[in-house]
Structure 1
Amino acid sequence: MKILAVPGSLSTNSTTHLAVGIVAEAARKAGAEVEVFDLRKNPLPIYDARSDESTYPDNVHLFKKKMLEADGFILGSPEYHGSISGVLKNALDFIGARELEGKFVALVGTAGGAMGATNTVNTLNIICRTLHAWPLPSMPSVPQSYMAFNPDGTLKDEKLQKRLEELGQNLVATITRHGVLTR
């Protein structure tokens, strides 16, 4: 089983990358092959709906290929102005239902504020459903993420750490239970 994780942050000290990493590691431990598509290392141009997609850079074709080949996804985003990050929205604009239809998605958000990233995970939920994917019902977010992590990348809040780990485990279990493998 292949799971593609896409943390939607370009920040060097990204708490979104840390949160997605917790979910990804739990999915690995549950038996999945998890790859992180790092938009910092594989930048995508601004989506411009060009008619000749072959003119896009190699990173776009790589991203679309990995999305198509994945059996499931972990999508994470910081909450920016009450929504998802521009870099994640831009990446998702390059794909469509062809890549996501019928696949399960684990969603996680991070936020600087005490309320968490509810708007972010709700927006991701809508995007995924619009592309005919199945977001898992648990969509945890990390509030005050700038001070939520230990130096080793785990969360200080043990209950929240467990929720993120369970999200990764549940993604693998759900894909297995429903037999939704693309290969």
Structure 2
Amino acid sequence: MKPLNIIGISGSLRSASLNTKLLRQAISKEVPGLAITEYPLKNIPLFNGDLENDGDPEQIRDFKEAIQKSDGVLIVTPEYHQGIPGVLKNALDWAGSDANENMLNGHFAGVIGVTPTNSGTAGAQQQVIQTLKAAGATVMEDHSLKVAKAPDKFETNGQLSDKETDEALLSYLNTFADWLRKKI
């Protein structure tokens, strides 16, 4: 079985981000044939159509190349005011722009998220899915992972301390891998 190469994106820039912790927990899971590589968004410039006129900036070319070389994208999104974080929307706008090359069109994605509130990132995940689909991506929508009240579920070192969340993450990753294998 050919290993699936997944780009993992945390929609937060915070060094102590719960979503980055969840992404890193996903990376550490042993899912047969699934390899997730973190792609940080800290160097992605603000989307600007004027920059595209001269070709994508180097950081965007690197970002798009990482997506192109992957079998899928796993997005781990926070939720700000029941919506998508600006840094993540900005990155998706670059990746899905048709001006140079839309790397999301025809690509596969999964969306999960974690929040300290009770919502479990439902609003943000819906907006991320909508953005991905508008750019032409195929999104695994029938399975999700929405982690609420997250600070109680992580140890200070970033490890998941909540067994139910840990099992739900592993289940999601196995389902995502199976879904991708059927799509590719």
Report how many residues are paired: 175
Secondary structure of 1:75 counterpart: strand
TM-score, with length taken from structure 2: 0.85
Query: Is 2:34 aligned against 1:36?
Result: no
CA distance in 1, matches of 2:7, 2:54: 22
Corresponding residue number in structure 2 for 1:54: 55
Corresponding residue number in structure 1 for 2:83: 83
CA distance in 2, matches of 1:55, 1:130: 20
Query: Is 2:170 aligned against 1:165?
Result: yes
Among 168, 177, 181, the alignment partner of 2:182 is 177
Mark the CA change 1:89 to 1:175 in structure 2 (over 3 Å): closer, same or farther.
same
CA distance in 1, matches of 2:75, 2:26: 10
**1:14-70 CA-partner distances (Å, limit 9, x unpaired):** 1001112233333x5321232110123xx11110112424362x2211001111221
Corresponding residue number in structure 1 for 2:115: 111
Corresponding residue number in structure 1 for 2:160: 155
CA distance in 1, matches of 2:34, 2:169: 16
CA distance in 2, matches of 1:89, 1:144: 23
CA distance in 1, matches of 2:112, 2:56: 32
Residue segments in structure 2 that go unaligned for 5+ positions in a row: none
Mark the CA change 1:48 to 1:139 in structure 2 (over 3 Å): closer, same or farther.
same
Among 147, 150, 173, the alignment partner of 1:142 is 147
Contact 1:2 1:33 in 2 (8 A): yes
Deviation at 1:75, TM superposition (A): 0.3
CA distance in 2, matches of 1:99, 1:6: 15
Secondary structure of 1:100 counterpart: coil
CA distance in 2, matches of 1:116, 1:10: 19
Amino acid of the structure 2 residue aligned with 1:78: P
Amino acid of the structure 2 residue aligned with 1:29: V
Report which stretch shifted further, 153-162 or 119-128.
153-162
Instruction: Give the % identical residues.
Output: 22
Contact 2:7 2:74 in 1 (8 A): yes
Among 9, 12, 30, the alignment partner of 1:9 is 12
Residue segments in structure 1 that go unaligned for 5+ positions in a row: none
Mark the CA change 1:55 to 1:115 in structure 2 (over 3 Å): closer, same or farther.
closer
Corresponding residue number in structure 2 for 1:19: 22
Deviation at 1:139, TM superposition (A): 1.8
Secondary structure of 1:166 counterpart: helix
CA distance in 2, matches of 1:22, 1:173: 19
Contact 2:75 2:110 in 1 (8 A): yes
